[in-house]
Amino acid sequence: MGEALVEVVSATILYKLRWTLLTVDLSVACTMSPAQMDGSDVLWSVPLDIPPLVQLPTIEKSLKVGVGGRYLTECVAHQRGYVIHENNGTLEIRIPFRAEGGFVKSQVVDGLYSQSYSVDVFLLHEWEDAAWGLTQQRTFRNLVINHLPQPITLLDLTEPTEGEFSFSLCCFPHDVSLVNISIAGQPMLWEDMENSKIQLSHNSFPNNTYTYQFQMPFSHPLVSQKYLGKRLRRYSFSGVFSFVVSPVGETFDYPATVEVKLQDAVLPVLEGECTERGVRTLAYYGNVDSSEWSLYVGGMKLDWELVEQYGFTLEPKELHLILEVPLFAPGMAYEGLGLQGLLVSVLTSLVHVGTGEEQTHVQHCVFPVKELLVCLPDGRVVVMVDTSGISPPVNPNHTALLDPSCRPQETDQSRALYSFSIDSCGTVAKYDGNHVIYTNEVRNIFPLSPHLRPLSHLHSHYRVPIGCVHPKNGNRTIAIFLPSSIPTAGHMHKTASQSYPKQLKDGDQKLNSLPSGG
């Protein structure tokens, strides 16, 4: 009958009433079609007209549906979502899965949550046909849907500006209970949740189901945070909710992940200051995890080997980190030398390992010096000499290089500052293997003509040898010395192979090298 399976039994009964033989025809018809799921509805199909019960033509009188032994009014059927309509000679009855009037049973199949639904339906169909004035057909059927997988719905209610995750898990019948929560792989006790401002509530609905409402602050240690750049952060919740089905005790898990992006990152701030020992940088943390940032000094990534080898000082504080770079250490750039002192700078950078976003700070400092010799990569030599303590006294203005015309650029009461090229001012070049040694000297000169000088002053009694060593071929590097010592090619080669020697101590003649500045 259409798409509905019908079983029909017909019988003819003969019996004798007095002298009359009577014939009675009996017919019984029963639909055999089982219930099936059609979308979210339970669908049951019944033929509208079943021969031999119907003698065409017919006049429809009424069609009623009942559940659990009681008829449903049109209003109640509509409220519950029941729908009855004819489709090509077949009567289709649609009942929403889990609709009121039926019975729901929870189960776990292959680790997944499922539900079975059963409902006792009866149908009353009345009509008139050519043979009878009124015919009633009553059909009773228990409709059953077994083991239908039920996806759990996660409804994300999070408002990022409120600073907490808020979501609900829906919807469960009363034979399902939440028994455990693990967040980021860590099981949570109810007491721990209360102490850490995690809230779990239980909300019921009129259809005898309920949801679990979960709230957790972004600041909780088990919430994953990742900086995405431009002050944007992603907060991620990852947890597993474990449920038990009563009374059989079957369990199933539901993994939940919720992510929120919020532009609330406070980036680290770099500040600097000059100290007697060197240059100090203060890195204020901000609210982005410090492990996501790499610290660079002068372009070199800071690690413990660099700290220990060159005497850097690291001092973590509650709100910031203190880094001190000692004078002449790697990462300190030479800016210039004058009577006011040695001008250096330290470029400190914080680079985010994920985005490459960079926070930088350049700190300039001036350190007073009495004597210093600087060999620059561009072939210039800058030297400051100290004439104090010389007997008889030497006026810094009365000093010169080997070429007497090369006089100091600046002087004060005891110091003279020179700046010249290695191919000028009488500088002597000497080749030693793969290196060239450039030497000159600062010496005192006499303001009087030679024939007027005292015999005791015919020779200079103040002479300070100066020199620089550069490779014959290849790139030159900056080096800083005390002017009282002329470096040798072997010493320079040894220094280059050691990258940077330790800081100058009393009695040493070689200072640490500084990378070339601007």
- The H-or-E segment that residue 190 falls in is helix 190-195
Residue 490 confidence (pLDDT) above 60: no
The better pLDDT of the pair 178, 130 is held by 178
Confidence of residue 503 (pLDDT cuts 50, 70, 90): very low
Question: What one-character DSSP code corresponds to residue 151?
Answer: P
Give 295-306 pLDDT, tens digit per residue: 999 999 999 998
The answer to whether 125 and 100 are in contact (CB under 8 A) is no
Q: What mean pLDDT comes out for the span 479-490?
A: 66
Residue 407: predicted pLDDT: 96
Q: 3-class DSSP state for residue 477? A: coil
pLDDT at 515 exceeding the cut of 80? no
Burial of 511 (0-12, 13-18, 19+ CB in 10 A): buried
pLDDT band at 57 (very low <50, low <70, confident <90, very high): confident
Helix (H, G, I), strand (E, B) or coil at 327: coil
Cis, bond preceding 57 (omega within 30 deg of 0): yes
**What's the first-to-final CA gap in the chain, in angstroms?**
96
CA distance 213 to 433: 81
Question: Dihedral angle at the C-alpha atoms of 71, 76, 79, 84, nearest 10 degrees?
Answer: 40
CA dihedral 422, 427, 428, 431 (to 10 degrees): -10
pLDDT in tens, 70-114: 889 889 989 989 998 888 878 889 999 988 889 999 999 999 999
Q: Is the pLDDT of residue 501 over 90?
A: no
Question: What one-character-per-residue DSSP string does 443-461 give?
Answer: EE--SS-GGGS-GGGSS-S
Q: CB-side exposure of 73: number of CA atoms within 13 Å?
A: 3
CA angle (189, 195, 200) in 5-degree steps:
65
Comparison of pLDDT for 447 and 284, the residue scoring more: 284
**pLDDT band of 20, cuts 50, 70, 90:** confident
Q: How high is the pLDDT of residue 500?
A: 31
Residues of the chain with CATH 2.60.40.3210: 372-497
In contact, 197 and 217? CB cutoff 8 Å: yes
SS3 4: coil
Q: Does the pLDDT value for residue 283 go beyond 60?
A: yes
Q: Which amino acid is at 180?
A: N
Residue type, 343: L
Q: Which of 205-214, 343-352, 354-363 has the weakest average pLDDT?
A: 205-214
Q: Residue range 308-336: average pLDDT?
A: 92
* Confidence band of 3 (pLDDT split at 50, 70, 90): low
Exposure of 343 in the CB half-sphere (CA atoms within 13 A): 11
Give the pLDDT confidence of 241-266 residue by residue, as tens digits.
Answer: 999 999 999 999 999 999 999 999 99
* pLDDT band, residue 517 (cuts 50/70/90): very low
Residue with tokens 């002053």: 457
Which residue is it, tokens 């300190």?
332
pLDDT band of 223, cuts 50, 70, 90: very high
Q: How many residues does the chain have?
A: 518
Round the average pLDDT of the chain to a whole number and report it. Answer: 86
Rg (CA), the chain: 48
In one letter, which amino acid is 225?
Q
In this prediction, residues 419-440 reach a mean pLDDT of 93
What band does 468 get if pLDDT is binned at 50, 70 and 90? very high
Cα 518 to Cα 512: distance, rounded to the nearest angstrom: 18
For residue 239, the model assigns a pLDDT of 97
Q: What is the pLDDT of residue 199?
A: 94
Class of domain 372-497 (CATH, top level): mainly beta
Mean pLDDT of 274-285: 94
Beta bridge partners of 482: none
CATH class of 153-262: mainly beta
Which CATH code of 1.10.8, 2.50.20, 3.40.50, 2.60.40 fits the domain covering 269-367?
Answer: 2.60.40
Name which residue leads in pLDDT, 455 or 426.
426
Helix (H) or strand (E) holding 492: helix 489-497
